[in-house]
Structures are given as C-alpha cells and as structure tokens.
Amino acid sequence: MGRAAAADVGVALRDRLARQSTARMIFAAAPSQAEMLDALARERDIDWRRVTAFHMDEYIGLPSGAPERFGAWLTRHLFSRVAFGTVHLIGQEPDPDREAARYAALLAEAPIDIICLGIGVNGHLAFNDPPVADLHDTKQVKVVELDAICRQQQVDDGCFPTLGHVPTHAITLTIPRLLDAGQLFCVVPGASKRTAVERSLYGPIGTACPASALRTHPRCALYLDPDSTPPQLSPQTPARA
C-alpha cells in the first residue's frame, strides 16, 4: 500500500514539475504514513530542490527539540532524506495564534499542489477532530483542543508513553485549507481505522466524521490495506474517494 501510494505521488509530482517551475506539498506526520514516506524518498527522477514542503499540524507545549514534535518526525522520515528546496515547519512561538497566522501566510503565498495525508481513528483530518472541525472554516490555520480519542491514538501509535504525556492543544491546518489543493493522496492502514474509513466513504458528509469531506474533492485518492478496508469494498480493488 505504501509503495503504491508513493509511486502515484511520484508520478503526480513529476508531472507537476514537468509543467511548472516549482511545486508545493503538505505532509502528514504519523506512523501510518511511514511506509509511504520511505518509499517516496526512494522515488527516482524527482528534483526535490524545486519542491517546497509544509506539514499539517503541530503540538503546542512540547520543547522545541522534542522528538515527538511532528516537524521532528517528518525531518527524520523525509525532510532529512531528500534535498527539498524549502521546508517550512510550524514553530514554537510563545503566541500560538500568531504562529498560526504566520504559517497561514506562508501557505497562502502560492497554490498547494499535492497533499499526503491520513485519517484518524475518530475520522479527523490533521487535528480537525469532530468537536472542533468546521467544513466551512474561515481560517486557514488555527489553534485547537484535541479530543480524548485523538490523544489516545497518539499513545496507541507508540508516540507517547501515557495519555498524560500527550499535549492537549495543537496548531492545525483547517479542512478548507487542506481541500484547497490540486491533488490529495490519503493513506490509511490498519484495523483501527476501518470504522473511520467506512464512515468517510459511506456516512453523511459532516463534522461527525471530518474525513467525509474528502468526498467533495475531485482528485483525492484513498489507499487502504486489507485491515482498513470496510466490508463494502474488496481488498483487491483500489478505493477512490
């Protein structure tokens, strides 16, 4: 699954770079993305020097050098492995709202071409959990409080030892900001995600399952493994949202 997704991302990125001088990408930071990012770093004939990279969320309250920070995770898994032209990380400003505004301004400088993302066990996109998600958000980047299911996922994924270690707030790109991109590649492995995938594909489009909004995007590819595939789909059939 990871290799298949990375191959498709590589095709899309090479196509963009053949038609334009630069490309801009946003990446999710999560263990579910590790195999895809590893395969993407191995893709050939991509001029990464012409690519500007962003990430889609970051914890508030962790020290700047904490390995759990999403910027640090992406640096280990991707940003340090290929020579991006520019990497913009969400910083640790004393004023999170000011940092959100700064990052929103960077994102708004030019269109976003490609986003590599996943779906949370509660159906979140980035850190747009059901209690705070807004499919028509007027903000591009905002400060949010994380719900208990989202925070527990971070423990279950092995990112933190206990729930008490998981920050309660974060900076996240909003759903309209994520959907305002040329192509989306959504990689969702594991049995813990099956219910969220089913709700995303077949449930109502709304904030009860924020990932359902992916169905409104004209170029969103969804990659599943047998464990995350809902019963309505054959594991052998690629799913498209």
In-domain check, residue 51: yes
The pLDDT-based confidence of 241 (bands split at 50, 70, 90) is very low
**Least confident window among 11-15, 42-46, 66-70, 122-126:** 66-70
Chain segment 123-164, per-residue pLDDT in tens: 999 999 998 999 999 999 999 999 988 899 888 888 888 988
In-domain check, residue 115: yes
Beta bridge partners, 206, equal 209
> What is the full DSSP assignment across 59-99?
ESSS-TT-TTSHHHHHIIIIITTS--SEEE-----SSHHHH
Cβ neighbours around 83 below 10 Å, total:
10
Single-letter residue type at 196: A
pTM value is 0.93
Chain segment 84-100, per-residue pLDDT in tens: 999 999 997 789 999 99
Beta bridge partners, 116, equal 27, 185
Q: What is the mean pLDDT of residues 207-217?
A: 97
58: domain CATH number? 3.40.50.1360
∠ Cα 43 45 50 (to 5°): 100
- Look at the chain and report how many structural domains it folds into: 1
In-domain check, residue 239: no
Chain segment 187-202, per-residue pLDDT in tens: 999 999 999 999 999 9
**pLDDT at residue number 237:** 53
In-domain check, residue 235: no
Beta bridge partners, 26, equal 54, 115
Q: Determine the structural domain holding residue 47 and report its residue range.
A: 1-201+211-227
**pLDDT at residue number 232:** 87
Cβ neighbours around 9 below 10 Å, total:
24
In-domain check, residue 206: no
The pLDDT-based confidence of 63 (bands split at 50, 70, 90) is confident
In-domain check, residue 101: yes
In-domain check, residue 153: yes
Rg of the chain in Å (alpha carbons): 17
In-domain check, residue 58: yes
For 96-166, list the strands marked E by DSSP.
112-117, 141-145
